[in-house]
């Protein structure tokens, strides 16, 4: 049990500064665009922009001259004006020519020269850029990642460098996608991105002083599937009350409503079966949702729920085991346990996995084939068909970071999170969940959590979009908040950057109803330093979920992140009388594997004694343990919350924040969507809360962008057309193509899908990237265009930090410094 030593009745006080997580890409960044061609195209974009201004001045001057000219001269002047308007040199020049016309003509001639120079330089630039790409493909970390994740691309990369790849140009799109991902995007995946955990200290470097000097590899198999394959009961022992069983990982909903599907494995073949979701099966699923349990324990819960005898319920369990809906295992699940540990027959596989860490890219293919043979033998022996994929965590040494120079930025970030948190969908979910519970069970009711979680989660998903009376005030506040921003933006139409006072943004959220301030919440915000600013990329629940799976590796390397996280969680959640516990299940998701953090840990059986209780005085729900004490349950793995079983998902809803996209995930960002969810402006400015960039500059391409991409006949013509498009709209050379925001996701699903299309970096002055751009768009669609901020040349390596911003119960969001206490929102002064 974890409890606070704080004064009873007062909110807990956070005193421990948070762990910072660094994500840094080993591949050293090199702008792909050839400098010579890029210089010509940048100059061309400048000239195109100035030419448009001079054309307007010229046509205006000619218009005035036409009005004053004799009738016999007007036709010629009109023809000249029409030619200038259509960006053509007139056949006959006016005599005398206005100064405005001469200035336009001079620039027009310069533009023609630049067009010819760019076309002439293009093939040479393309050859040089291919040399640059070849050099980047020689990076060892990149090649090792490709060997693990995309063997065909790895072979193409090696062949491209050696000049032995047939149809090499056809492979360039795929190669460029991986190279630009490794240069620009920071999300942990093999060796594309290394992860480090840092504790604040004045002895460390500043957050903008990031280098990469190597990392340690930790290869591993899919822990969830490995447990299914490697942990089986003795087949010679008939199943009985003491047999441990679990849901089959092949179990899935459908096809159609009220049905489930699963694979029944036989000696020589397997069959996909489906069955109606009867009441006994519903109760069986409830009793097995939380992980492995004994047949006797499951039968007892099913018997209680159905009002039958334990013997009858055991028949349901054993029948489901025989059918393949359930499968045996060898004991309870723990997300830190290695399923291969302690078995001599698995030693070869353990040794092969460990050896993969130091194998060069050329040796990895053979090493992976050997691991594949061993895992195939393992699945055949267990008679459980599965593909056990190899993954890799790449850990930096434990570090320190000096955060003292970021006081202003962190204060602005906290104000920004105060604003954004008002849009957290978990506020809506908690309110609707309470409404549904009271309707079903009454005020002050107490029910078994696992018996009712599945139905409650389903009911909330159906009702949260429509909302209800409990959300009227919250949703009206959100409308007013966005209305203030849109009105301000309308008054600044045409600006390329809008800086809002961060305190003013926070004050817009001050009327947030008290019921939505009661919970202590934290967010882990992903930020990239650029100059004296922080650029916000995304925001996730802030209790260690982003880096939970790396805590064990960090501790093995001598780090202190785990103990610091434990202190922070206890300070935040451990108010008087509240028990703090973590769930220890994998729940079918390998990235939920992590070292234990909290002293109190829930295994599957522990969940079946928990109750869901309504507090009629506060009109809120909480979980109660078997001893009648309030319980906060945290999941510290990194798995997608929508994949968690209903009881854990519901328990998480009650104590955590959700994902917060800095632009609120709207088609127009903070500028707001137009009719039908379409942005009303062709571009939106960069939006800041003081020193914090909430939204980069964006452009919503129209037909002129599509025409530029399709422009021909040659590839140089496409680059020239894209340069004209850039000049017309003020678009920088380095941009990111982003997919349109995902549609509304189910409640609590953390917005969007794990399979959502990824952003694609493009340099619009690169001959090579311009060549493959149509194929990028054919594959991914255009969505919208966003400035690449920071750009490729901003630092030797792409990196970002995850920093935690938190709010005590009833307080305001802050970045915790040692000795900080809670800040009551009612004590805040008026905005400046």
DSSP string, 234-287: -TTSPP-TT-EEEE-TT-EE-SSTTEEEEEEE-SS-EEEEEEE--HHHHHHHHH
Q: How far apart are CA 392 and CA 390, in angstroms?
A: 7
Residue 136 structure tokens: 């980047």
pLDDT given for residue 7 in this prediction: 38
Task: Return the ∠ at Cα 727 (arms to 722 and 729), rounded to 5°.
Answer: 95
Q: How far apart are CA 127 and CA 144, in angstroms?
A: 26
Q: Poorest-confidence range of 4-13, 114-123, 443-452, 684-693?
A: 4-13
Q: Could you tell me how many helices (H) and strands (E) the chain has, helices first?
A: 24, 28
Mean pLDDT, rounded, for 688-709: 94
Determine contact, residues 318/310, Cβ cutoff 8 Å: no
Is residue 496 within 8 A of residue 685, CB to CB? The reply is yes
φ, ψ of residue 211 in degrees (nearest 5): -135, 170
- State CA 574 to chain mean position distance: 29
Nearest-angstrom CA–CA distance, 581 and 583 = 7
Q: Which helix (H) or strand (E) holds 314?
A: helix 310-323
pLDDT digits (tens, 9 = 90+) for 337-391: 899 987 888 999 999 999 999 999 999 999 999 999 999 999 998 888 899 999 9
pTM of the entire structure?
Answer: 0.92
Sign, CA dihedral 619-570-575-201, equals negative
Structure tokens at 522: 């934290």
The yes-or-no verdict on residue 8 having pLDDT over 60 is no
The CA distance from 722 to 765, in Å, is 9
pLDDT > 90 in the chain, percent: 77
Contacts made by residues 704-713, CB under 8 angstroms, sequence distance 24+: 704/728, 705/782, 705/785, 706/782, 709/773, 709/774, 709/777, 710/774
3-class secondary structure, 24 = strand
DSSP 50-71: HHHHHHHHHHHHHHHHHHHS-H
Structure tokens given for 763: 């340099």
**CA–CA separation, 615 vs 526, rounded Å?**
35
Q: What is the rounded average pLDDT of the residues 10-28?
A: 87
Q: Which of 191-200, 392-401, 822-831 has the lowest mean pLDDT?
A: 822-831
Higher-scoring residue by pLDDT: 167, 189: 189
Residue 190: is its pLDDT beyond 80? yes
Round to whole Å and give the CA distance between 494 and 686: 11
CB 24 within 8 A of CB 598: no
Cα–Cα distance for residue pair 562/19, rounded to 1 Å? 9
Could you tell me which residue, 747 or 779, shows the higher pLDDT?
A: 779
698, pLDDT greater than 90: yes
What pLDDT shows up at residue 293? 97
- Listing DSSP states for 704-766 in one string gives HHHHHHH--SSHHHHHHHHHHHHHHHT--SEEEEEPPPP-PPPTTS-SS-TTPPPPEEEETT-
CA dist., res. 523 & res. 335, Å (int): 24
Please check whether residue 483 is in contact with residue 640, taking contact to mean a CB–CB distance below 8 angstroms. no
CA–CA gap between residue 756 and residue 738 (Å, rounded)? 11
Q: What is the pLDDT of residue 779?
A: 60
Cα(540)–Cα(80) distance, rounded to whole angstroms?
A: 59
Contact call for residues 222 and 393 (beta carbons, < 8 A): no
What is the structure's pLDDT at 342?
Answer: 78
pLDDT at 752 over 70: no
Q: Are strands 497-500 and 686-689 parallel, antiparallel or unpaired?
A: parallel
Cα gap 35→124, rounded to integer Å: 11
Mean pLDDT, residues 712-717: 91
What phi and psi values does residue 759 have, to the nearest 5 degrees?
-65, 155
DSSP state, residue 478: H
Residue 678: both structure tokens together: 């379409």
Local confidence band at 82 (pLDDT 50, 70, 90 cut-offs): very high
Domains of the chain: 233-328 (3.90.930), 406-662+800-807 (no CATH)
The better pLDDT of the pair 94, 479 is held by 479
The answer, yes or no, to whether residue 248 has pLDDT greater than 90, is yes
Task: Give the percent of the chain with pLDDT over 70.
Answer: 92
d(CA 24, CA 188): 9
Q: What are the tens digits of pLDDT across the range 290-348?
A: 999 999 999 999 999 999 999 999 999 999 999 999 999 999 999 888 999 878 889 99
Here the tokens at position 220 are 């591993």
pLDDT digits (tens, 9 = 90+) for 634-679: 998 876 777 899 999 999 999 999 999 888 766 666 765 443 445 5
Element (H, E) at 23: strand 20-24
Which runs of E-coded beta strand occur in 584-689?
601-602, 611-615, 620-624, 630-634, 683-684, 686-689
* Average pLDDT in the chain: 90
pLDDT digits (tens, 9 = 90+) for 567-600: 999 998 877 689 999 999 999 999 999 999 999 9
Per residue, the 3-state secondary structure of 208-248, as one string, reads CCCCCCCCEEEEEECHHHHHHHHCCCCCCCCCCCCCEEEEC
Query: Concatenated DSSP letters for 511-543?
Result: T--GGGTSS-EEEEEEEEEETTEEEEEEEEESS
Do 97 and 37 form a contact (C-beta atoms < 8 A)? no
pLDDT category at 750 given cuts 50, 70, 90 is very low
pLDDT of residue 781: 57
């Amino acid at each position: 049990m974890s409890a606070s030593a704080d004064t009873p009745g007062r909110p807990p006080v956070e005193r421990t500064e948070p762990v910072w997580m660094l994500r840094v890409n080993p591949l050293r960044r090199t702008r792909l665009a050839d400098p010579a061609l890029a210089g010509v195209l940048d100059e061309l974009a400048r000239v195109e922009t100035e030419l448009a201004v001079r054309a307007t001045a010229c046509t205006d001057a000619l218009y005035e001259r036409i009005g004053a000219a004799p009738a016999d001269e007007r036709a010629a002047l009109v023809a000249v004006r029409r030619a200038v308007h259509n960006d053509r040199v007139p056949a006959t020049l006016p005599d005398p020519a206005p100064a405005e016309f001469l200035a336009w003509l001079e620039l027009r001639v310069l533009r023609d020269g630049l067009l010819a120079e760019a076309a002439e330089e293009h093939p040479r630039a393309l050859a040089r850029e291919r040399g640059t790409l070849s050099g980047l493909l020689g990076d060892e970390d990149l090649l090792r990642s490709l060997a693990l994740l995309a063997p065909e691309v790895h072979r193409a990369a090696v062949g491209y460098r050696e000049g032995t790849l047939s149809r090499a140009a056809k492979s360039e799109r795929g190669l460029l996608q991986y190279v630009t991902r490794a240069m620009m995007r920071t999300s942990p995946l093999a060796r594309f991105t290394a992860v480090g955990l840092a504790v604040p200290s004045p002895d460390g470097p500043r957050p903008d002083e990031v280098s990469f000097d190597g990392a340690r590899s930790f290869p591993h198999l899919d822990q969830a599937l490995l447990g299914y394959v490697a942990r089986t009961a003795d087949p010679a022992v008939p199943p009985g009350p003491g047999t441990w069983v679990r849901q089959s990982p092949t179990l899935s909903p459908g096809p159609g409503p009220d049905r489930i599907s699963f694979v029944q494995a036989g000696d020589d073949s397997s069959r996909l079966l489906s069955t109606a979701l009867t009441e006994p099966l519903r109760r069986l699923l409830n009793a097995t949702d939380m992980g492995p349990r004994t047949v006797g324990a499951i039968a007892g819960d099913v018997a209680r729920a159905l009002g039958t005898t334990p013997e009858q319920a055991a028949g349901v369990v054993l029948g489901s085991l025989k059918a393949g809906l359930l499968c045996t295992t060898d004991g309870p699940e723990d997300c830190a346990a290695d399923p291969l540990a302690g078995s001599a027959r698995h030693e070869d596989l353990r040794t092969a996995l460990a050896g993969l860490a130091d194998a060069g890219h050329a040796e990895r293919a053979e090493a992976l084939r050997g691991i594949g043979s061993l895992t195939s033998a393992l699945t055949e022996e267990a008679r459980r068909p599965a593909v056990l994929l190899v993954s890799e965590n790449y850990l930096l040494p434990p570090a320190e970071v000096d955060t003292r120079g970021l006081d202003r930025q962190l204060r602005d970030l906290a104000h920004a999170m105060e604003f954004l948190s008002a849009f957290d969908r978990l506020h809506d979910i908690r309110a609707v969940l309470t409404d549904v519970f009271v309707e079903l069970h009454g005020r002050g009711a107490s029910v078994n959590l696992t018996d009712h979680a599945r139905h409650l989660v389903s009911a909330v998903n159906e009702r949260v979009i429509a909302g209800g009376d409990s959300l009227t005030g919250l949703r009206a506040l959100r409308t007013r908040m966005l209305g203030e921003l849109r009105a301000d933006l309308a008054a600044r139409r045409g600006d390329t950057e809008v800086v809002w006072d961060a305190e003013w943004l926070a004050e817009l959220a001050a009327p947030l109803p008290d019921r939505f301030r009661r919970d202590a919440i934290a967010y882990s915000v992903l930020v990239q330093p650029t100059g004296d600013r922080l650029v916000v990329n995304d925001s996730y629940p802030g209790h260690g979920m982003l880096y939970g799976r790396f805590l064990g590796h960090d501790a093995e390397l001598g780090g202190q992140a785990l103990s610091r996280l434990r202190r922070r969680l206890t300070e935040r959640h451990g108010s008087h009388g509240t028990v703090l516990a973590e769930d220890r299940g994998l729940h079918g998701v390998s990235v939920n594997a992590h070292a234990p953090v909290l002293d109190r840990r829930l295994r599957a059986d522990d969940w079946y004694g928990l109750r869901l209780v309504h507090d009629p005085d506060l009109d809120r729900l909480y979980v109660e343990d078997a001893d009648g004490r309030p319980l906060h349950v945290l999941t510290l793995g990194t798995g997608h919350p929508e994949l968690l079983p209903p009881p854990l998902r519901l328990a998480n809803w009650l104590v955590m924040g959700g994902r917060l996209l800095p632009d609120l995930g709207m088609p127009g960002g903070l500028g707001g969507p137009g009719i039908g969810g379409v942005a009303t402006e062709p571009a939106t400015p960069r939006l800041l809360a003081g020193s914090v960039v909430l939204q980069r500059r964006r452009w919503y391409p129209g037909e002129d962008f599509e025409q530029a991409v399709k422009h021909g006949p040659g590839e140089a013509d496409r680059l020239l057309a894209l340069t004209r498009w850039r000049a017309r709209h003020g678009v920088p050379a380095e941009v990111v193509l982003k997919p349109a925001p995902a549609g509304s996701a189910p409640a609590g699903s953390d917005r969007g899908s794990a399979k959502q299309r990824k952003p694609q970096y493009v340099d619009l002055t690169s001959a090579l990237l311009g060549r493959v751009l149509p194929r990028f768009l054919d594959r991914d669609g255009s969505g919208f265009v966003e400035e690449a901020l920071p750009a490729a040349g901003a630092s030797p390596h792409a990196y970002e930090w995850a920093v935690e911003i938190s709010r005590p119960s009833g307080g305001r969001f802050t970045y915790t410094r040692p000795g900080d206490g809670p800040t009551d929102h009612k004590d805040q002064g008026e905005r400046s």
